[in-house]
Amino acid sequence: MNIEENLSGQSSINEDSFEIELNHGDNIIGINMEISNRIHLIDLMLNALQITYRGKIPVILKRIHFTLLNDGSPLHELVLKERLLEEEICGVYQYITSNKDNPNHLKVVFGSDNFFKIRQLTSEINLESGQSIGIINKHFSLQTGEKVDALEISVLGKTLDDKFLYSSQVFKYNVYKNRQKLLFPLGGTWLSCNNFDYIYAHRRCWSQEFALDFVQLSIDGKLFKGQEPGLNENWACYGQDVYAPADGVVVDIVDGIPDNPGGFASRLPGNQLEEIYKQRGFKAVMAGNYIVLDHGQAEFSFLAHLQPFSLTVELNDKVKAGQLLGRIGNSGNSDAAHLHFQLMNGPDFLTAKGLPMVFNNLTDISGAPVSFIYPNNSIISTSGEKKPKKNS
């Protein structure tokens, strides 16, 4: 039952009272994939929502209603109201205002440092004209026999003279189809971590929403060899070759950033990080040694945390699918040796929109073909004849 149905017979409703904005724009990208016969996994993360009050009389927010739709019919609903709504609004306000002087952090999380208008933002459900509230990281996941084609967001408020104010907007739900045929950027067998269905890591960051981290296990099932994880060289995947996932052009590249010390979650000393920031910028501190490839048709790949001085390409080089690019390292904001890989719609890995990706040369542990890597912590292998090859 929607808000309008709930309000039938009550005080008058003004349908233009609230402006509803998503940092996704008018179109949102979610997962809609078949996981068994005629059963689909629907999975969507609303990264950031801003609601601005445009009425004249002060209003109290009563409810925000999210509805996933199939041809206009509701499939799944989420309602924020009363104390839960107050807590959400207050928490977002504190988060945004505490990071107002850290624009790079806001870009990582929201793709922009000015989506939320801080001067308009409030922590209260009591709104004056022109004030706004923020909602972040609303996750929707369900298994259904129907496909989702839209998301409706409805807002209900009540004025001090007991009139209800209501606004609603429908956003198209898009299932992204890759324009490039992607090769998996590694050879052999790998463990995929921090996938989209683990919602507490990449999924909460704008460009990283569908990013993947890849590590290997040693023969005894550990992430490192022997008894000493304190050396990068002892991590099973350290130094493994990294390949271009498709033809493209190098449009951004950083090399020469030292690896972090071995040992889980180790970092370079603070003074060394400060010097890297001054000399190479925030991106180098975050990603370490990295490569961004432009594949055309608004698809860019980003490969990060590479081993220093292992990169085999330079800015503006043209590369071929399967070409050796470098080796796995532990540079930048990295807890241990691994490859961070993501697809996005622009060259800036802070502000570009993250995109889902499918690969055409993967199998699972049974040998069955895998295209979209799911669920989190899946073990996948490159299929033999399409395995990337080293440069000749």
Q: What is the pLDDT of residues 187-216, one digit of tens each?
A: 999 999 999 999 999 999 999 999 999 999
pLDDT of residue 183: 97
Count how many Cα atoms sit within 13 Å of the Cα of residue 342 in the half-sphere of its side chain.
Answer: 29
Q: Please give the Cα distance from 332 to 288 (Å, whole number).
A: 4
- Over residues 241-266, the pLDDT tens digits come to 999 999 999 999 999 999 999 888 99
For the segment 172-179, the average pLDDT, to the nearest whole number, is 95
**CATH homologous superfamily, domain 189-386:** Glucose Permease (Domain IIA) (2.70.70.10)
Q: What are the structural domain ranges in the chain?
A: 3-174, 189-386
Does the structure show a pLDDT above 50 at 1? no
- Over residues 290-327, the pLDDT tens digits come to 999 999 999 999 999 999 999 999 999 999 999 999 99
For the segment 36-40, the average pLDDT, to the nearest whole number, is 88
> Poorest-confidence range of 10-24, 91-105, 121-135?
10-24
For the segment 366-388, the average pLDDT, to the nearest whole number, is 84
Q: Measuring CA to CA, which residue among 191, 207, 214, 262 is closest to residue 47?
A: 207
Q: Measuring CA to CA, which residue among 261, 205, 250, 206 is closest to residue 228?
A: 261
How big, in percent rounded to 5, are the helix, strand and coil portions of the chain?
15, 40, 45
Does the structure show a pLDDT above 90 at 3? no
